[in-house]
A and B are shown apart, each in its own frame.
Chain A
Amino acid sequence: MLLNQFLFLGAVLFCIGVYGVITRRNAVMVLMSIELILNAVNINLIAFALRNGSVDGHVFALYVIAIAAAEVGVGLAMVLLVYRNRRSIALDELAEMKG
């Protein structure tokens, strides 16, 4: 197997995730897109770990997974709070911080 095929796969997933982050109105959807991005990064890490024959990539990937989980937890808590206060989680309606 080529290294590049995994890397390409990661790149594609990353870009799709970027598209999702930018485009999606729903806050939960944005979080999902962020998950896509994180997973793409993970694929990269593991691929390189295999290439280099080291375990560091695995460890890093595990840490990313853990962080992602924590982040989703907090993020969803925030979304809930927003929903409670505003009855909507459309991001383009949350513009109170505009300058």
Chain B
Amino acid sequence: MFGAEVSGVAEVVQAYGWFLENAWIIPIIPAVAFFLIIFFGKKLPMKGSELGILSMLATLFFSAMAGWQWIDAVNSAPAGSAMAPVIKSWTWWTTGGFDFTIGQHMDGLSLTVLIVVAFISTLVQIYSVEYLHGDRRYTHFFAALTLFSAGMMNMVIADNMLQLILGWEIMGLCSFMLIGHWWEDGANSRAALKAFFTTRTGDVGLLVGTSVLFFAANDWTQKTLGVSGFSIRGVSAWALSGDPSSAAITVAAVALFIACIGKSGQFPLHTWLPDAMAGPTPVSSLLHSSTMVVAGVFLVARLYPVFWEGLNITGSSFNLIVVIGGITILIAAALAFVQNDIKKVLAYSTVSQLGYMMMGLGAGAWLPAVFHIFTHAFFKACLFLAAGSISHSASHHSFDMKKDMGGLRKFMPITFTTWIISTLALCGVFPLSGFFSKDEIIDNVGHNGYTLFMVIGLIGAFMTAAYMTRATYLTFFGTPRGASAGEHHDDDHATDHAHGDHAHDVHATHDAHGAHDSHDSHDAHASHGPRESGPLITIPLIILATLAIGAGFLNATPFGAGWENMKKWVEPSGAVISTTGIEEAHGGAGASRIVYLSPQAEEGAYSSPCGKETPKDGICYAPSISHAKFKWSKGALSLAIVFAGMLVSWFMSVQVFERKNRALAGLTKRNKLLGAGHSFLVNKYYLDHLYEKVIVRAIAHPIARGAYRFNQKVLDGIVNGTGISVRNTSRWVYRNVDQKVVDGAVNGSGAAAQGAGSALRPIQSGKVSQYGALLFGAAAIGALVLVIINT
């Protein structure tokens, strides 16, 4: 808003309010709840879930109040002001003259994601009460969920990179714990490990990037702003100050983006996300669709100036982020076509949508990408929870669409309705939320000169509509199959306990419940067909679907600037802030400083003094970004593409699945080319094969073998050799020193004494004359000696 038309002098407004200033409490509440659940959860009547839900409600309340105060501050600020975030920090360790701080950095972006996390966490925890009822590790599940929320909230409000990394790692840990919740099945624990290792591979980039940024920025930030090189605000300002060398900032940007590739499931590190569906559905809906996987997007959005400058987002028509995002959109959408598991379809859809967000960020469409985080969270979580509802009540914990679903719209009306709403939102149908966010991304990508990627976005929209229609058809239309038809899979119950060789194939995941007895109590397996789930499951679905409808209106660009509230509240000002008397305001009532706003460019091209031509007395905290003007013609085009995708897919689905059209069904089996393409997709582009069997084996096996050999020959050799040499030495010492020398000396002294005695015994012969001889002989010799001496 203020970046667009006004140029001139304006104010920096510091937002204030109790909830904003004390937002650091928000991650602490679930952290405390985590410990309470761990220690006391099992003894509580609801086994710890009440603590989790209460803590989530508390955080939701705090976040909402903080968000209200922020919105209030923004709304009441004079037009054209720049909002200063509410930053507080405390030093927790000092070493070598350097202070390590922990604190909060509350602004529109952090509040957006914070509210999303709190809200979805609350709903998912309520959902889990029903979904995981009777589970063998019920309490620990809630503990892990709560800890995850604590970690993510901590990351979101972090004011320095170290704290962000802390939250990042806690999230990774909780993801591992939750994916492997039913670790008795080897496939689940393998999936958890795969997730952890893949994200860890990316985390190297996070550490490298943070270090590079610190060492490059610390001098400037200490001098100019008085904060360390870890401070996010400081680094953002540094990136746009013209101070950094292009090599340093590019390296940092690439390294940080590698971490985002891992965490947000971008190509080529996306392979863990579909496998993460082995975890319980609430986990998939919370972590792996709406919150954790957007951590990478959040990071890019948070440190946007670093990427803006480091990857030259304004200056060229392609860069690393947008390319990776674009590739991800397409390959994930293609993979979603060949999945039989409903959760895997949604997982690839998530990957694809994350690709949208990244592509948006990479092309300078900051606000649309952040808004897409917001809206995507609601409808994707709703889709996952609906899938969970289906498995819980209809398909006997199976997620296989082809085997166990079909025609469920008659049996599960609420689930069906919410699913349809969320699918339409995902596809970007007006007036649902996805239209306002996803289409804005595509629009702004094109507006900023990344035309190729705009086309990719449109193709992705087509594919999204197509695969979601396919999934919808398989699940809710047609004739019920398998479990949905009321058939039992007795082998499931038998083999669920013998998980050793439980066929975990590529296409199906099972919620492998261990406590079948408690399920038997309320799932009367004797005879029931699919039916709607209980209220604890359907109410969150309804809430989320409602938001999927309505959340879009928070930033409904088509309706004019008055509707663009998210932009007003969330987008940081690209203003140049004067450095005369600059200091970070820590709370307190609106301290103002004079700012000079950068002149904004016309549509189609933009230039910002921030970065390349930052005035010497000014600080920029965010780049100034231009926005595409909405045209209904563009909107209509994308809607047309979406509907085309839906129609084509509907037609194909009916033909192939229902009518079994001879020409079309089994096409991939008959046609060699299509069959090859199909198996290529089914094998996920052989990327898993490449990673695990080729790369890992090539690196790990020789290394492992070499390490083993080193251990056996060298290390063990040294150890054994030492032992052997010590033993030989001791044996030698025993034989030679102890036996011969020491014992010899001891024995010898005895022998010597004895010998001396024997030698001297003849002197005492008892013969007097001999005594006399000795006496006089000694006297003679004595005399001789005396004489000789004295002459």
Contacts and interface: CB of A to CB of B under 8 A. Distances in A.
**A/B touching: CB–CB < 8 A:** yes
Given A18-B776, A99-B761, A30 B766 contact: no
Contacts of A94: 766-768
A98 B772 contact: no
A23 B766 contact: no
B776 A98 contact: no
Contacts of A2: none
A21 B765 contact: no
Nearest to B764: A99
B764 A98 contact: yes
B767 A99 contact: no
Contacts, number: 37
Contacts of A92: 767, 769
Contacts of A25: 769
A94 B767 CA distance: 6
- Of A24, A94, A98, which is in contact with the most chain B CB atoms at under 10 Å from its CB? A98
A22 B766 contact: no
Nearest to A33: B772
Tier of interface size on chain A: 10 to 19
A77 B761 CA distance: 30
Contact of A22 (B761, B763, B765, B772): B772
A95 B772 contact: no
Contacts of A21: 769, 772, 776
A24 B769 CA distance: 8
B766 A97 contact: yes
A96 B765 CA distance: 8
B719 interface: no
B753 to A, nearest CB: 15
Nearest to B769: A91
B741 interface: no
Interface string A1-38: 00000000000000000100111110000100000000
Nearest to A18: B776
A30 B772 CA distance: 10
Interface string B763-783: 111111100110010000000
Interface in B554-611: none
A95 B763 CA distance: 12
A98 B767 contact: yes
Interface in B722-762: 761
Contact of A91 (B763, B764, B768): B768
A23 B776 CA distance: 12
A30 to B, nearest CB: 7
A91 B770 CA distance: 10
Interface in A49-99: 91-92, 94-99
Nearest to A34: B772
B786 to A, nearest CB: 15
B773 A95 contact: no
Contacts of B767: 91-92, 94-95, 98
A18 B712 CA distance: 87
A20 to B, nearest CB: 10
Given A18-B776, A22-B776, A95 B766 contact: yes
A22 B769 contact: yes
A98 B768 contact: no
A98 B766 contact: yes
Nearest to B773: A22
A58 B263 CA distance: 130
- Of B761, B766, B772, which is in contact with the most chain A CB atoms at under 10 Å from its CB? B772
Nearest to B780: A18
Contacts of B776: 18, 21-22
A96 B766 CA distance: 6
Contacts of B773: 22
A11 to B, nearest CB: 11
A97 B768 CA distance: 9
A21 to B, nearest CB: 5
A98 B766 CA distance: 4
A71 to B, nearest CB: 15
A30 B763 CA distance: 20
A98 B769 contact: no
B769 A30 contact: yes
B769 A99 contact: no
Contacts of A18: 776
Interface string B171-193: 00000000000000000000000
A65 B766 CA distance: 29
A25 B761 CA distance: 22
B87 to A, nearest CB: 106
Contacts of A23: 769
A95 B766 CA distance: 4
Contacts of B769: 21-25, 30, 91-92
A29 to B, nearest CB: 10
Contacts of B765: 95, 98-99
- Of A22, A24, A91, A96, which is in contact with the most chain B CB atoms at under 10 Å from its CB? A22
Contacts of B772: 21-22, 30
A25 to B, nearest CB: 7
A85 B374 CA distance: 137
Nearest to B768: A91
Contacts of A98: 764-767
Interface in B362-399: none
Contacts of A97: 764, 766
Nearest to A37: B776
A25 B773 CA distance: 12
A95 B768 CA distance: 8
Closest 7 CB pairs of A and B: A98-B766, A99-B764, A95-B766, A97-B766, A22-B773, A98-B765, A18-B776
13 contacts: A18-B776, A21-B769, A22-B773, A23-B769, A25-B769, A30-B769, A30-B772, A92-B769, A95-B766, A96-B766, A97-B764, A97-B766, A99-B761
Given A24-B769, A91-B769, A99-B761, 16 more contacts: A21-B769, A22-B769, A22-B776, A23-B769, A25-B769, A30-B772, A94-B766, A94-B767, A94-B768, A95-B766, A97-B764, A97-B766, A98-B764, A98-B765, A98-B766, A99-B765
Interface of A: 18, 21-25, 30, 91-92, 94-99
